[in-house]
């Protein structure tokens, strides 16, 4: 007998919790559901009212239906799945789905839980801060073939805050960041917006490699237009908390200044990314969620978070302040060759003791992400074999399979 798997059968058995699809209450078997829901996914309707589960379901289901241009049958199916708690959209969609904010093109990435970027220029750093401020987890690929494309650090930056947060009246605040350059002196007027924060951060990094300067660069940071802690964030939701923003610029300058005369190392890139991430997380945007991928041969990267806790002469323990922000992300080493048994054992042992040390076997990961083309064990095995011989041959093989697939669909 063939069973219809597109529409689940209604059941009163023990396989599903008792749940009223029209109720805003969660099943008794989920005692933590209410606090988690109201903390994380329920948006404010007013100063005294928040969305119920029924309202969040209505908002997110309609948002998905509009995004996917669903038929009435498709929308009915996702309503059944969500209201019966059998299947839910991502946590990001539960927060922003169906809102006017997510319908704006510049905000669409806020619906993604995870992203990945090859770190090849300063724009990649700015992009990751922008993504983090939208609530997306940020992934950075830091293998030498990418980080070697970054410019050399040539200028020493001396950073000073010239105006504190909130000194400008709200009706005079500027949304956009403005940069003024006068000889070797630069003033960054930080705008009161996501884009304003991002531009100020990226601009500081760009100053370190700018060839127009003839000596050390004096950088004045004007935070007067930035709204103070506690004010509402319109559109995205939540409240502002720029507590970490003032120290962001000096801490980034400290990392950059250590690299004057050369290019940044992958671990220094991590520090710059994580300084921005720490600023964003402190601003009540979301939990820490970062992934950094480095070369299997990069020993400094592999031990990035080793011995973070240090003991002073009096026996007091503290976290190394220069590396503290590395806790914002996990660090994974990418193997383009098959790891040996000992390398695999060492990686698992390191994860057991420190939570770090994960490895990624690149051809296997790529094969899984192309499962629609490598749809048989034989194709997958052939791809991995080709990859280990020549990555170009592996690319050509995937390309040929794609062409075949398109021809079949015509």
Reduced to 3 states (helix: H, G, I; strand: E, B; else coil), residue 113 is coil
What is the rounded distance in angstroms from the CA atom of residue 242 to the CA atom of residue 230?
9
Residue 298 φ then ψ, to 5°: -90, 95
- To the nearest whole number, what is the mean pLDDT of the chain? 89
pLDDT, mean of residues 342-362? 91
**Higher pLDDT among residues 380 and 14, named by residue:** 380
| Stretch (H or E) spanning 307 | none
Residue 118 reports pLDDT greater than 50: yes
**Higher pLDDT among residues 209 and 409, named by residue:** 209
Reduced to 3 states (helix: H, G, I; strand: E, B; else coil), residue 236 is coil
Q: What percent of the chain has pLDDT over 90?
A: 69
Residue 16's pLDDT is: 42
Report domain extents, the chain: 33-99, 117-285, 325-409
What is the rounded distance in angstroms from the CA atom of residue 257 to the CA atom of residue 239?
34
DSSP class of residue 340 equals: P
Question: With contact defined as beta carbons under 8 Å apart, do 188 and 203 qualify?
Answer: yes
What is the rounded distance in angstroms from the CA atom of residue 277 to the CA atom of residue 331?
15
Residue 313 structure tokens: 């002469």
Residue-wise pLDDT tens digits, 274-315: 999 998 887 655 557 789 999 999 999 998 888 888 888 888
Residue 260's pLDDT is: 98
Q: What is the Cα gyration radius of the chain?
A: 25
What is the rounded distance in angstroms from the CA atom of residue 264 to the CA atom of residue 267?
8
Please tell me whether the overall predicted TM-score, pTM, comes out greater than 0.95 for this model: no
Residue 382's pLDDT is: 97
Residue 46's pLDDT is: 87
What is the rounded distance in angstroms from the CA atom of residue 87 to the CA atom of residue 128?
30
DSSP 229-289: TT-B-TTT-SB---TTHHHHHHHHHHHHHTTTTSPPPHHHHHHHHHHHHHHHHHTTS----
Residue 8 reports pLDDT greater than 80: no
Instruction: Tell me the range of 1-5, 108-112, 146-150, 353-357 where mean pLDDT is highest.
Output: 146-150
pLDDT, mean of residues 99-111? 92
Residue 154's pLDDT is: 97
Residue-wise pLDDT tens digits, 376-401: 999 999 999 999 999 999 999 999 99
What is the rounded distance in angstroms from the CA atom of residue 269 to the CA atom of residue 354?
22
Question: With contact defined as beta carbons under 8 Å apart, do 204 and 249 qualify?
Answer: yes
Residue 381's pLDDT is: 97
pLDDT, mean of residues 119-138? 94
Residue 10's pLDDT is: 45
CATH number, domain 117-285, options 3.20.20.10, 3.30.420.40, 3.30.1620.10, 2.30.30.220: 3.30.1620.10
């Amino acid at each position: 007998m063939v069973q219809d798997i597109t529409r689940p059968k209604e059941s009163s058995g023990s396989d599903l919790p008792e749940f009223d699809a029209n109720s805003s209450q969660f099943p008794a078997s989920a005692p933590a559901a209410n606090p988690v829901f109201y903390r994380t996914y329920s948006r404010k309707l007013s100063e005294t009212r928040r969305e119920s589960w029924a309202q969040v379901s209505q908002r997110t289901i309609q948002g998905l239906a509009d995004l996917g241009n669903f038929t009435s049958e498709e929308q009915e199916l996702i309503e059944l799945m969500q209201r019966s708690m059998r299947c839910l959209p991502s946590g990001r969609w539960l927060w922003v789905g169906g809102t006017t904010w997510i319908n704006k093109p510049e905000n669409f990435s806020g619906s993604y839980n995870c992203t990945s970027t090859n770190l090849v220029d300063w724009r990649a750093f700015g992009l990751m801060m922008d993504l983090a401020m939208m609530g997306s987890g940020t992934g950075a690929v830091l293998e030498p073939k990418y980080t070697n494309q970054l410019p050399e650090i040539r200028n020493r930056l001396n950073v000073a805050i010239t105006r504190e947060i909130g000194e400008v009246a709200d009706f005079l605040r500027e949304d956009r960041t403005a940069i003024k350059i006068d000889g070797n002196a630069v003033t960054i007027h930080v705008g009161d917006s996501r884009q304003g924060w991002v531009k100020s951060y990226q601009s500081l990094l760009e100053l370190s490699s700018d060839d127009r300067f003839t000596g050390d660069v004096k950088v004045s940071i004007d935070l007067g237009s930035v709204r103070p802690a506690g004010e509402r964030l319109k559109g995205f939701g939540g409240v502002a908390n720029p507590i970490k923003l003032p120290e962001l610029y000096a801490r980034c300058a400290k990392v950059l200044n250590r690299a004057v005369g050369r290019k940044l190392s992958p671990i220094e890139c991590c520090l710059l990314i994580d300084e921005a991430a720490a600023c964003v997380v402190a601003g009540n945007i979301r939990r820490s969620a970062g992934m950094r991928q480095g070369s299997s041969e990069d020993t400094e990267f592999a031990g990035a978070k080793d011995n973070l806790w240090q003991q002073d002469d009096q026996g007091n323990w503290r976290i190394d302040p220069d590396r503290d922000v590395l806790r914002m992300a996990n660090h994974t080493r990418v193997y383009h060759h098959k790891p040996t048994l000992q390398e695999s054992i060492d990686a698992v042992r390191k994860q057991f003791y420190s939570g770090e040390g994960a490895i990624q076997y690149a051809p296997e990961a790529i094969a899984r992400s192309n499962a629609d083309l490598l749809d048989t064990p034989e194709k997958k095995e052939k791809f991995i074999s080709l990859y280990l011989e020549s990555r170009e041959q592996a690319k050509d093989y995937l390309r040929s399979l794609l062409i075949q697939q398109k021809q079949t669909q015509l």
